[in-house]
C-alpha cells in the first residue's frame, strides 16, 4: 500500500480519536500519540467545548520573550501565518531590537517590555500567552513570573536545566491556573506524525530498534550561552539530543526504562571546557525495543529511523524547520511541508481558547528533562541507569 493511501484511507478525525482512546495515556497523563489535527479533547467535554470554541473566535495575543535567532527567524514570521494567535508584544533587553520590531510588526509601545518591566505584563489584556525563547537556564524564572502574571506559557525546549526547575514551573502554572506547553514543534510535522503512526500503531509489526542522531558543527563565539553550563544546562544533549529522546518515545509510544551512555572525546577544548562536545546513549523500552542515539556539536546529522518486524522507515533530515524527507520499506513518504511553528502556536492558542489539553504539555517537558538527567548520570558513572518518569 502506498504511504498516501494509508494516510488518507481513514477518516482522520475518527481514526485518531479511536487510536488515542485505544492507546490511552502514560502514567503521567501524557498523550501517547500526538498527531491529531487539534488539541486533545477531554472525553464528554468535547461537544460542550467545541460549542464554546466557536464563540471564542478572537485571535490570542502572544508576547515573545527574548528576541534571538529562533524568535526572529522562525517564531515571528510564523506568527504572520497563524489563525488563532498573533504577535502582540515583545520582551527584550535591547532598545534597538525594540525599535526594529515595533516598526516591522507594528507593535504598540504599551506592549513592549524589558526584562525589568516584564512583570507588568500582568496588567496587559492584549497579552494572553507568553512564549519564552531565552537561554535554557532562564526558562524556569520567566515561566514562574509569567504564571504569576496569569498568562498562559509556552517555554522553549528543553523545558529547563533540571527536573527540579521543571517541577517549579509546573507548580506555578497550576497554582495560577494557566496552561503550560513546550515548544515541541515536531509533534505538528507530518513526517514525524507519520512515524508516530507507523511505530505506535505497529503498521509493520512491533518496533525492534530506533536510531536517532541530531548534531551540528558549532562554530563562532566560544563564549556563546550554549557552551555555558549554567545557561545551557549541558551541551548538544540538552539542545539537540532532546529531539532524539522525543523521537524514540513518539515512535514507540513508551518512555524508556533504562539508559547507558558515554561522552565522546573532546577534540576542541577551547569550545568544550564546560559542556560535552558529543554524547551517545542507548535507551531500553518496556517492550524490549532499543533506541540508539547520538548527538554532537562537531558533526552534521539529523536522523530518525525505525526497524519493525515487517518493515522500516527513515526520516533524514528529520528535525529541520523545512525540507524533512522520509521513506519506508514501501517507498517515499509523500507528505506536505508545513510551517511547524505556526501549527504549534495555533494549536496551543486553540487549547487555551477551548480549554483543552495541549498534546505537548509541561509534564512532557519534565519527563524529557528527567531522561536527559539520567543520560548524563549514565555517561558520568558508566553505569546502566534506571529511569523513573
Ligand atoms: P539566541 O542566543 O539566538 O537568543 C537568545 C536570546 O536571549 C537573545 O535575544 C538574548 O539577547 C537573550 N538573552 C537574555 N538574557 C540572556 C543572557 N543572560 N545570556 C544570553 N542571552 C540572553 O538563542 P536561540 O537559538 O534563539 O535559542 C533560544 C531558546 O530557544 C533556547 O531555549 C533554545 O533551545 C530554543 N530553540 C528552540 C528551537 C526549536 O526548534 N524549537 C530552535 C532554536 C532554539
Look at residues 132, 92, 137 and name the one whose alpha carbon lies nearest to residue 116.
92
| pLDDT band, very low/low/confident/very high, at 39 (cuts 50, 70, 90) | confident
Ligand 1 centroid–CA 231 distance in Å is 10
Q: Which one from 118, 204, 243, 319 is the annotated catalytic residue? A: 243
Please give the pLDDT value at position 52: 41
Nearest CA to ligand 1 atom 17: 135
Residue with the smallest CA separation from ligand 1 atom 19 is 225
Q: Which residue of the set 113, 118, 151, 157 is catalytic?
A: 157
Instruction: Summarize pLDDT for 203-257 with one digit per residue, the tens.
Output: 999 999 999 999 999 999 999 999 999 999 999 999 999 999 999 999 999 999 9
**Predicted pLDDT of residue 2:** 32
User: Residues 348-372: pLDDT tens digits?
Assistant: 999 999 999 999 999 999 999 999 9
In a domain, 174, yes or no: no
Beta strands in 118-191 (DSSP E): 129-132, 152-155, 180-182
Please give the model's pTM, rounded to 2 decimal places. Answer: 0.91
Sheet of 85-91, strand order: 112-113, 85-91, 60-65, 129-132, 152-155, 180-182
Assess whether 157 carries a catalytic annotation: yes
**Does any ligand 1 atom lie closer than 6 A to the CB of residue 183?**
yes
pLDDT for position 90: 99
Atom 12 of ligand 1: nearest residue by CA position: 66
In a domain, 314, yes or no: yes
Percent of the chain clearing pLDDT 90 (strictly above): 85
| Structural domain contains residue 196 | no
The reply to whether omega before 261 is within 30° of 0 (cis) is no
Residue 34 has pLDDT above 90, yes or no: no
Ligand 1 atom with the smallest distance to the CA of 225 is 20
Cross-strand pairs, 296: 215, 278
| Residue 91 Cβ contacting ligand 1 at under 6 Å | no
Burial 249-278 (b: 16+ CB within 10 A, else e): bbbbbbbbeebbbebbeeeeeebbeebbbb
Q: What is the pLDDT of residues 149-174, one digit of tens each?
A: 999 999 999 999 999 999 999 999 99
Query: From the CA of 174, how far away is ligand 1's center (Å)?
Result: 25
Number of domains within the chain: 1
Which residue's entry shows cell 513570573?
145
Pocket lining: 157 vs ligand 1, CB cutoff 6 Å? yes
322 or 54, greater pLDDT: 322
User: Does the beta carbon of 53 lie inside 6 Å of ligand 1?
Assistant: no
Domain range for 269? 203-337+368-386
| Structural domain includes residue 93 | no
Provide the mean pLDDT of the chain.
Answer: 90
Q: Indicate whether residue 341 lines ligand 1 (CB < 6 A).
A: no
Residue 8, pLDDT score: 27
Residue 17 has pLDDT above 90, yes or no: no
The confidence band for 57, taking pLDDT boundaries of 50, 70 and 90, is: confident
52-56, 62-66, 134-138, 340-344 — which is least confidently predicted? 52-56
Is 323 domain-assigned?
yes
DSSP three-state, residue 98? helix
Note whether residue 301 is domain-resident: yes
Give me ligand 1 centre to Cα 335, in Å. 30
Q: Is 312 in the pocket of ligand 1 (CB under 6 A)?
A: no
pLDDT class of 24 with cuts at 50, 70, 90:
very low
Name the residue of 67, 68, 322 to mutate for ligand 1: max ligand atoms within 8 A of Cβ. 68
CATH label of the domain that carries residue 374: 3.30.360.10
Cell of residue 48, nine digits:
460542550
Q: How many CB atoms lie within 10 A of CB 46?
A: 14
Between 30 and 150, name the one with better pLDDT.
150
Domain contains 195: no
CB atoms within 10 A of CB 365: 27
The residue to mutate among 65, 70, 236, 364, having the most atoms of ligand 1 within 8 angstroms of its beta carbon, is 70
Q: What is the mean pLDDT of residues 26-50?
A: 47
Across the range 332-347, mean pLDDT stands at 98
49 pLDDT more than 70: no
Q: Which atom of ligand 1 is nearest to the CA of 94?
A: 11
- Give yes or no for residue 25 having a pLDDT over 70: no
**Cβ 238 vs Cβ 229: under 8 Å:** no
Could you tell me if the CB of 234 is within 6 A of ligand 1?
no
> Is it the case that residue 41 has pLDDT exceeding 90?
no
**Among 56-65, 167-176, 192-201, 289-298, where is mean pLDDT lowest?**
56-65
Active site residue 243: yes
Cα 196 to chain centroid, rounded: 15
Q: Is residue 251 part of a domain?
A: yes
Helix (H) or strand (E) holding 95: helix 95-105
Amino acid at each position: 500500500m502506498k504511504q498516501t493511501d494509508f494516510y488518507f484511507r481513514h477518516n482522520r478525525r475518527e481514526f485518531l480519536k479511536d487510536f488515542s482512546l485505544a492507546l490511552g495515556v502514560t502514567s503521567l497523563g501524557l498523550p501517547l500519540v500526538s498527531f491529531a489535527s487539534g488539541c486533545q479533547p477531554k472525553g464528554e467535554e468535547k461537544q460542550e467545548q467545541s460549542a464554546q470554541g466557536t464563540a471564542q473566535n478572537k485571535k490570542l495575543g502572544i508576547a515573545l520573550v527574548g528576541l534571538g535567532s529562533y524568535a526572529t527567524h522562525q517564531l515571528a514570521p510564523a506568527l504572520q501565518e497563524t489563525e488563532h494567535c498573533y504577535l502582540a508584544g515583545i520582551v527584550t533587553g535591547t532598545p534597538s531590537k525594540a525599535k526594529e520590531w515595533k516598526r516591522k510588526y507594528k507593535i504598540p509601545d504599551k506592549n513592549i517590555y524589558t526584562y525589568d518591566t516584564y512583570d507588568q505584563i500582568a496588567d496587559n489584556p492584549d497579552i494572553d500567552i507568553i512564549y519564552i525563547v531565552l537561554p535554557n537556564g532562564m526558562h524556569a524564572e520567566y515561566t514562574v513570573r509569567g504564571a504569576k502574571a496569569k498568562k498562559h506559557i509556552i517555554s522553549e525546549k528543553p523545558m529547563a536545566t533540571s527536573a527540579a526547575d521543571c517541577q517549579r514551573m509546573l507548580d506555578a502554572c497550576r497554582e495560577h491556573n494557566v496552561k503550560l506547553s513546550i515548544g515541541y514543534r515536531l509533534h505538528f510535522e507530518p513526517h514525524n506524525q507519520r512515524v508516530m503512526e507507523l511505530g505506535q500503531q505497529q503498521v509493520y509489526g512491533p518496533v525492534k530498534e530506533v536510531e536517532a542522531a541530531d548534531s551540528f558543527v558549532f562554530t563562532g563565539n566560544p563564549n556563546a550561552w550554549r557552551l555555558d553550563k549554567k545557561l545551557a544546562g549541558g551541551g548538544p544533549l540538552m539542545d539537540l539530543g532532546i529531539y532524539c529522546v522525543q523521537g524514540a518515545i513518539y515512535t514507540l509510544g513508551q518512555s524508556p526504562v533504562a539508559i547507558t551512555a558515554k561522552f565522546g572525546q573532546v577534540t576542541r577544548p577551547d569550545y568544550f571546557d564546560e559542556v560535552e562536545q558529543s554524547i551517545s546513549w542507548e535507551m531500553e523500552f518496556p517492550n524490549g525495543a532499543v533506541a540508539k542515539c547520538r548527538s554532537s556539536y562537531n558533526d552534521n546529522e539529523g536522523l530518525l529511523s525505525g526497524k519493525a518486524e515487517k518493515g522500516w522507515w527513515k526520516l533524514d533530515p528529520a528535525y529541520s524547520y523545512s525540507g524533512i524527507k522520509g521513506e519506508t520499506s514501501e517507498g517515499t513518504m509523500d507528505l506536505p511541508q508545513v510551517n511547524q511553528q505556526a501549527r504549534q502556536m495555533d494549536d496551543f492558542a486553540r487549547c487555551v481558547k477551548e480549554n483543552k489539553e495541549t498534546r505537548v504539555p509541561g509534564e512532557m517537558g519534565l519527563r524529557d528533562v528527567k531522561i536527559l538527567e539520567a543520560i548524563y548520570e549514565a555517561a558520568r558513572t558508566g553505569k546502566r541507569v534506571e529511569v523513573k518518569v
